[in-house]
Amino acid sequence: MSQDTILNWSSKPATRKMMSAVGLPTPQPLRRSEGPWGTEPLSGRNAAIAGQGSAGLVALVEAMGAEIVESAPEDGVLDVLIFDARGVVDASGLRALYDFTHPRIRSLGRCGRLVVIGSPADAATTASQCAAQQALVGFTKSASKELGRKGSTANLLTVSADADAGMAGPLRFLLSARSAFVTGQTLAVSTAGDAGVWTQPLTGKTALVTGAARGIGEATARRMAAEGARVLCLDIPPESGALELLAEEIGGVALGLDITDEAAAKQIAAAAGGVVDIVVHNAGITRDKTLGKMDAALWDLTIEVNLASVVRVTEALIESRVVPAQGRVVLVSSIAGIAGNTGQTNYAASKAGVAGLTRHLGRALQSKGIAVNAVAPGFIETRLTQAIPFSIREVGRRFSNLNQGGLPVDVAEAITFLSSPGAGGLHGNVLRVCGGNLLGA
């Protein structure tokens, strides 16, 4: 059961009705997938599709198991709406987006999906086209706020010229229950990448997950193992007990190591047997104080653990070719690094730095086929958030479009997707897993 009392109450029809009557928030319990990926994540669901590339999209979505429909069936419920707006070149062209979504949006069912497909605004050849494509961002963010009460999501997928082949993986993720806590976001497909493997996609891969003993790191290690990876579970020596238990349960390797150790990269390479196909930098700390009260030691430690060691280890693994061509690097930023937070100048600086590192490495390593991306979690239900005072914790939960906090598995699902072959067309994205949190929106 969730730690969120209001969410637990709202999951019961009788209680939900009473809560609504007295004006309490009524978050919709989210539909999440369990177990390994399947080839047809939309089996038993329907989808309405329109726009420029609708014919190709139909084939992609049918391969996911969905039934293609024009409008809501007899039960009045649509599960998926997709509009390809790449053909919109001026403001008047946006009317087609309205004409498609307006008569259908109220039929989108609980935990439904709206995905808009566009072109990168900065690649536009005219001012009108740039304006029209950027308008899709505002549309999608606003739609995500309107749909949040249903537990439904809205996201934008931008696709560069000649990168259509890289769209299948991101589209599959955004349409599936694996993206339950991702809404109001933009994912940019910049290269064709790989069409993707949808059953045990990480089989034969070695994955490093730092900070693996608990929380998001543990959930990520478990998800990656479920998709076939051999997981190198790294955490500080004091967490060795939990680390060894996790590694034993998932068939991985426990590595008790401080990531700030100057020899960390060499020790990781040795433990992995010389090849790390997937690097996930999840380890991080908070040392919160307002700037005037923060001593240099708290600043230095936070920057070293959260940023400097990430730069140092990642560059060493890439330069030594421990991360091979077609490898994946997934870094963990935070919405604090996007929006800032009182008492967290050190933490926010470090996580903003991670976002900058992601964008640089994404561009620099694209030609080698190495995809570097990041996730930026929002309010996630962990033992750390449970220690937050009740009133602040409640605000954190209700600040999202989905009116609730996320779970560690929500971040793990995004990391696992970004580590997969199907994410090969994504380079330098910072994907917020925050339920559309208002902070930094």
Q: What is the pLDDT of residue 19?
A: 67
Which of 27-31, 58-62, 245-249, 358-362 is least confident? 27-31
Mean pLDDT of 357-383: 94
Kindly indicate the confidence band of residue 23, based on its pLDDT and cuts at 50, 70 and 90: low
pLDDT-derived band at 208, boundaries 50, 70, 90: very high
Q: Would 29-189 and 206-433 be classified into the same CATH topology? A: yes
For the cut 80, the answer to whether the pLDDT of residue 266 exceeds it is yes
Question: How far apart, in whole angstroms, are the C-alpha atoms of residue 383 and residue 393?
Answer: 12
Beta-carbon neighbour count of residue 23 at 10 Å? Answer: 7
Q: Specify the pTM.
A: 0.95
pLDDT mean over 165-191 = 96
pLDDT at residue 393 greater than cutoff 80: no
Reply yes or no on whether the pLDDT at 434 is more than 80.
yes
Asked if the model's pLDDT at residue 187 lies above 70, the reply is yes
In this structure, what token pair is assigned to residue 310? 């990430």
DSSP string across 355-416: HHHHHHHHHHTGGGT-EEEEEEE-SB-SHHHHTS-HHHHHHHHHTSTTSS-B-HHHHHHHHH
Instruction: Kindly report, residue by residue over 61-113, the tens digit of the pLDDT.
Output: 999 999 999 988 877 899 999 999 999 999 999 999 999 999 999 999 999 99
The C-alpha atoms of residue 354 and residue 386 are separated, in whole angstroms, by 25
Residue 394 has pLDDT above 90, yes or no: no
Q: d(Cα 208, Cα 229) in Å, to the nearest integer?
A: 10
Residues 183, 30: contact at Cβ < 8 Å? no
Which residues are CB-neighbours of 187 under 8 A, at least 6 positions away?
A: 155, 156, 157, 158, 170, 174, 426, 429, 431
Which H helix or E strand runs over 209?
A: strand 206-210
Domain limits of the chain?
Answer: 29-189, 206-433
Residue 289: count of CB within 10 angstroms of its CB: 14
Most confident of 15-29, 56-70, 388-402: 56-70
Distances 15 to 6, 7, 11, 327 between C-alpha atoms, Å: 10, 11, 8, 48
CATH topology classification for 206-433:
Rossmann fold (3.40.50)
| Eight-state DSSP code of residue 227 | T
Q: Give yes or no for residue 1 having a pLDDT over 60.
A: no
Mean pLDDT for 259-269 is 97
- Mean pLDDT score of the chain, rounded to an integer? 93
Model confidence at 313: pLDDT above 60:
yes
Dihedrals phi, psi of 289, to nearest 5 degrees:
-160, 145
Nearest CA-CA partner of 83 in 59, 56, 118: 118
122 CB-side CA count, 13 A: 2
Choose among 171, 162, 174, 187: nearest CA to 427: 187
List the single range of 110-124, 355-369, 395-409, 424-438 with lowest mean pLDDT: 395-409
Name the band, by pLDDT with cuts 50, 70 and 90, for residue 130. very high
Grade residue 26 by pLDDT with cuts at 50, 70 and 90: confident
What does residue 208 show for φ and ψ, rounded to 5 degrees?
-100, 130
What is the percentage of the chain residues whose pLDDT exceeds 70?
Answer: 96
Among 190-204, 216-230, 392-406, name the one with the lowest average pLDDT.
392-406
* Per-residue pLDDT tens digits for 273-300: 999 999 999 999 999 999 999 999 999 9
User: Has residue 407 got a pLDDT over 90?
Assistant: yes
**Out of 83, 347, 379, 417, which one is annotated catalytic?**
347
Q: State residue 154's pLDDT score.
A: 98
Active site residue 98: no
- Compute the average pLDDT of residues 311-338: 96
pLDDT band at 386 (very low <50, low <70, confident <90, very high): low
pLDDT (mean) for 430-437: 95
Of the pLDDT bands very low, low, confident and very high (cuts 50, 70, 90), residue 420 is very high
Average pLDDT (347-354) is 97
Q: Looking at the DSSP assignment, which residues form a beta bridge with residue 190?
A: none
346 pLDDT band, cuts 50/70/90, is very high
% pLDDT > 90, the chain? 83
The pLDDT, as a whole number, for residue 53 is: 79
pLDDT of residue 25: 74
**Are β-strands 67-68 and 186-189 bridged in parallel, bridged antiparallel, or unpaired?**
unpaired
The mean pLDDT value for 248-254 works out to 97
Architecture of domain 29-189: 3-Layer(aba) Sandwich (3.40)
- Over residues 357-374, the mean pLDDT reads 96
Q: Which residue has the higher pLDDT, 397 or 202?
A: 202
pLDDT at 438: 74
